Amino acid sequence: MNHQKDRPRARRGRTTERTAKRPTRRARAASKARAQRITHKRAKSKRTTDARKRILFLLAGFFLAGLAYVGVLVDLQALRPDAYVAVGENQRARTVRLAGYRGTITDRDGFVLALSTPGTEVVADPQLVKDPAATAQLLAPVLDLNEADLERKLVPSSPTDRYAMIAPSVSDERASLMAAIMEDDENDDALAGIFMRAQENRVYPADRLALPLVGRVDPQELGYSGLEWQYDELMQGTAGYERTETGLFGSITGGEYVFEPAVPGNDMVLTLDYRIQYVTEQALIEHCEETLASGANAVVSDPRTGEILAMATVVRRDGQCQVPRQNAPLVEAFEPGSVIKMVTAAAAVEDLGYTANTAIDVPEQVVVGDKAFLNHSPAAEYPVRQVISDSMNAGTIRMAQEVGVERLQYFLNLFGFGEPTGLDFPYENSGSVPEEWYGSDLGSIAIGQGIAVNTVQLTAAFNVIANGGLYISPSLIRSVVSPDGETLSGTPQSSRRVVSLEAAREVNTALVDVVTRGTGVEAAVPGYTVAGKTGTAWQVFQQADGSYGYGVEGDRKYVVTFAGFLPAEDPQLSIVVVVNEPKSATSAGKVAAPVFADVAQYAIRILSIPPGDRTTTHDIDGLIRGTPAPEPGQGVVVFDGQTGAEDQGTLDGDQQPEAEVVEPPADGQPEPGAEVVEPPVVGEVAASEGVTQ
């Protein structure tokens, strides 16, 4: 028993000894509790810090939001209230632009030469285009454009590139195709940045008919050439608009409605007759091709009113004569040659009392200054009418010497040379009549070299003789018609007496002889009495050494002219034809006179012009006839601001030297020998009376 009682005691003694070094259960619990208190304290401190930060961030956010809200309120109420009101209005308002179409241009009888019609254009904002290649691939076949070129337009050239014209004028059919593909939602990405806009289309129903005169407009419907440019402001319309209020489901009943009607531009009624314009252009093209000329121009007018019935220009380009953009009858000047002899004769008749039958002692040569002007005809007495009809240089210069420098210069100005025509056409070249004459200038200018004129000036000058000595300024605009139908005045015109009626009749007689038996026989029109004058002049051009001059015999360039009117007894039609650098012949009688006849025969039928009274005869049988030939002289050459002396001459008649065939000059170059001047300031020419003696 004692042994059994001792065993547990011994066990307890062993346990105590083994665990003496371990912490007691109470100690472990106390340690664990202490550790929990420390951990809980630290966690609580961290959660408190995070909460405070979140609160601060939240307060900062509210503060910034409030600040922004205050800023917006300030912007809305104080800085830009009108802009935001406009935004709101635009969101509920629908505005439709109403085009104010540009005025129409018609000929004298209402044939439309230019008008504006509704159209569509396609534009792009390159910054909004997402995939230029895909967009180009989709649009190119629809708009009939080159895909590669279209893609280049859709790529922005700079960060500020926000506009590209894709198609300035789209037909109704293609516009419908564009509208269809734009309505397809599948094309939204490909068509991003592509827009269709309503616009005006300027249409020219007669194509290139009268193109140099009528002109053209740019894609913004602003004139940049011809009458389109000259009267751009007058023909521009004023756009209108229609404004309505709309909601989610359409227009708002009783909402705002504003209608501002568009105002079309003024219509222009020209003095042109489109039929005569057409035949004149075709005749010039035909003869330009036949004579291998570098170009030609012509003016047809009614001498009684000064109205221009046709104004045509053709040039040789790419080996073919065609209608260009430059209006040569007004913007190019040239040395006219023997057509100016009409003025010399008129001055002699007016000042010296000559008649068509007054005999003049004509030598074989006339010396003026240090130059001798040859006549190439027997020395003899010739009547004034034969001096003009055979285009005798020496005889004409003798008359000029009798008239004198001051009076001849006076009459040249009074006939309208060296002065604006009054048409105020853009870049009109008024030519030049020298203010100071030196050396042989009297001889040169009397036969049409050393001065520069334009074709309209020449037309108006010959109309003086047709009108019995009265100058009537030319006219291109018959009337201007306002949008409400009111007819306004056309081109301002003036008139003045240049020579007496008797003097004009005597010169008329001499001009009839030019066509009946002189240098202009090929200008004859069957059944009609034609009065006119030929002119063949040398042109200034650049020589092989770089200088400018008339060249030498066998190496010259010519400008040939025929100016005339009919019927001579009662002139109702005048025509001036100018041909530049003909190659097949160099005589005005062979080159320019036939064009006059072709145009005249058509125009007299269109205008129903009857033959004149043929009771007046122009018989010069039995008179000694001279043989016209080249005539050397000296005159002033003006080129690029430089003045110098150069040999010159005037040629008229059937026997003319053939010019060597050379390449024509580049299209668009100024007329050789013509002084280049700035566009003149044109005002109405004051009426004045010529001196009658």
Indicate whether 322 pLDDT > 50. Answer: yes
Q: Which domains does the chain show, CATH number per domain?
A: 95-244+255-270 (3.90.1310.10), 280-608+624-648 (3.40.710.10)
- CA dist., res. 196 & res. 123, Å (int): 6
Does residue 243 or residue 663 have the better pLDDT? 243
Indicate whether 228 pLDDT > 70. Answer: yes
User: DSSP string spanning 359-411?
Assistant: EEEE-SEEEETTEEEE--S-SEEEEHHHHHHTT-HHHHHHHHHHH-HHHHHHH
CB 560 within 8 A of CB 650: no
CB 457 within 8 A of CB 432: no
Indicate whether 635 pLDDT > 50. Answer: no
Beta bridge partners of 637: 644
- Residue 475, classed as helix, strand or coil, is strand
Predicted local confidence at residue 485, as pLDDT:
87
Predicted local confidence at residue 679, as pLDDT:
30
Indicate whether 308 pLDDT > 50. Answer: yes
Per-residue confidence at 246, pLDDT binned at 50, 70, 90? low
CB 515 within 8 A of CB 564: yes
Indicate whether 257 pLDDT > 70. Answer: no
Indicate whether 311 pLDDT > 70. Answer: yes
What average pLDDT does the segment 349-371 reach?
93
Indicate whether 22 pLDDT > 90. Answer: no
Predicted local confidence at residue 24, as pLDDT:
67
What average pLDDT does the segment 224-243 reach?
86
Pairing mode, strands 548-549 and 541-542: antiparallel
- CA dist., res. 227 & res. 217, Å (int): 10
Quote the Cα angle for 680-274-529, to 5°. 90
Does residue 101 or residue 321 have the better pLDDT? 321
Residue 12 is encoded by which pair of tokens? 């307890």
Lowest mean per-residue pLDDT among 249-263, 428-442, 637-651:
637-651
- CA dist., res. 530 & res. 689, Å (int): 28
Indicate whether 213 pLDDT > 50. Answer: yes
pLDDT tens column, 504-523: 999 999 999 999 999 999 99
Q: How far is CA 522 from CA 500, 534, 562, 590, in A?
A: 30, 11, 10, 7
- CA dist., res. 448 & res. 588, Å (int): 14
- Residue 217, classed as helix, strand or coil, is strand
- Name the helix (H) or strand (E) containing 8: helix 2-18
Beta bridge partners of 479: 269
User: DSSP string spanning 570-616?
Assistant: S--EEEEEEEES-SS---HHHHTHHHHHHHHHHHHHHTTPPP--TT-
Predicted local confidence at residue 13, as pLDDT:
47
Predicted local confidence at residue 667, as pLDDT:
30
Indicate whether 241 pLDDT > 80. Answer: no
Predicted local confidence at residue 488, as pLDDT:
83
Indicate whether 75 pLDDT > 60. Answer: yes
N-term to C-term CA, the chain = 188
Does residue 633 or residue 550 have the better pLDDT? 550
What average pLDDT does the segment 164-187 reach?
86
- CA dist., res. 196 & res. 267, Å (int): 29
Does residue 621 or residue 420 have the better pLDDT? 420
Does residue 155 or residue 55 have the better pLDDT? 155
Predicted local confidence at residue 543, as pLDDT:
73
Q: How far is CA 596 from CA 252, 279, 472, 562, 592, in A?
A: 69, 11, 22, 7, 7
Does residue 661 or residue 187 have the better pLDDT? 187
What average pLDDT does the segment 156-169 reach?
86
Indicate whether 387 pLDDT > 60. Answer: yes
Q: How far is CA 40 from CA 28, 33, 34, 153, 572, in A?
A: 18, 11, 10, 71, 123
Per-residue confidence at 269, pLDDT binned at 50, 70, 90? very high
pLDDT tens column, 28-48: 777 767 666 665 555 555 566
Predicted local confidence at residue 94, as pLDDT:
59
- CA dist., res. 631 & res. 394, Å (int): 9
Predicted local confidence at residue 245, as pLDDT:
66
Q: How far is CA 19 from CA 29, 31, 566, in A?
A: 17, 18, 153
What average pLDDT does the segment 207-222 reach?
91
Indicate whether 295 pLDDT > 90. Answer: yes
**How far out from the chain centre does Cα 462 lie?**
28
- CA dist., res. 185 & res. 661, Å (int): 66
- CA dist., res. 46 & res. 34, Å (int): 19
Does residue 580 or residue 189 have the better pLDDT? 580
Per-residue confidence at 163, pLDDT binned at 50, 70, 90? confident
Lowest mean per-residue pLDDT among 174-188, 237-251, 528-542:
237-251
Predicted local confidence at residue 669, as pLDDT:
31
Per-residue confidence at 627, pLDDT binned at 50, 70, 90? very low
Beta bridge partners of 560: 536, 579
| Averaged pLDDT of the chain | 81
Amino acid letter, 682: V
Predicted local confidence at residue 620, as pLDDT:
34
pLDDT tens column, 76-93: 777 777 666 665 665 566
- Residue 685, classed as helix, strand or coil, is coil
Single out the residue of 387, 622, 617 nearest to residue 514, CA to CA: 387
Per-residue confidence at 471, pLDDT binned at 50, 70, 90? very high
User: DSSP string spanning 451-479?
Assistant: -BB-HHHHHHHHHHHHTTSEEE--B-EEE
